[in-house]
Structure 1
């Protein structure tokens, strides 16, 4: 029997759907094994920038009291701050993130670094995307907006930027950089990625072709 305390977080009151997605993911995982027990759930509507969160503190305290594991749908729901995540790990509280199915110090370092990087760049990406749309005459919320060839070309560029900044791609890129130091065999790299729970930008398993795309996209070398 393994006991769990669930923690869900969204940044604003308008993201209730995000809470449902997180909760469904956690329950789906726990229901796969009838030895799992969900003791309680804690919900927080607070920015990930704020590490002084009441419900998270309550969840951690309950984990210590019940000798339970803190379970979260995604690592960035816990925090986007690398130091905070490592301090929590060192505190003796067991926690499990569903997007890190094969937890290790290596994968924790990669994922938490990416989470912090995402926090630091998300506002800038939004600003750049809005400015690009405005320059191309696109009016937000305009149902009859007309798209020119130039606007379509810009959209292609933006999509490439999205692929470059995609969270799954960035995670895979960080791991591939490490793996390339030992092998250039794309099939072997793909197998290692899949065994450690990494997925493509579309949530699929990696194959040799998708590994080569990541290598090319980020200009990685052995």
Structure 2
């Protein structure tokens, strides 16, 4: 069965053109969300994936209707594959039910993986370079050394409760516990 998925980001956008294209592509059932593609909780997408059967083909008009990032697209398509279904994007001419379509999709996946590894490598190099210059990355401490001493004194000598100390210094209870 060809199953369509359509998505627009806001309520004032129309799904009509996607619905028409999916219908023309033979979609027997279409699931549609009105939510940002960056949102990980999309009720209709989840419902569609739950109903997939072996041999179904999920079809979208453009792959960005399914996911905003290539990483998310790869994860969603892998979930579709695990359910025994294929994936097809009309605009990009990707169809994982054919050998050529799987090749194109795997080339995309390989490029995305390469880019993730390069980003990670550049991040490690940048952090190492900054450390050599004496810079330490990360967020600045929530409390100064003097404030930490005062937190300890309040807890040890005044026996104040952790939540009260956290409110007083405007930090989380976890920050107080770490001190």
TM-score by length of 1: 0.40
TM-score by length of 2: 0.49
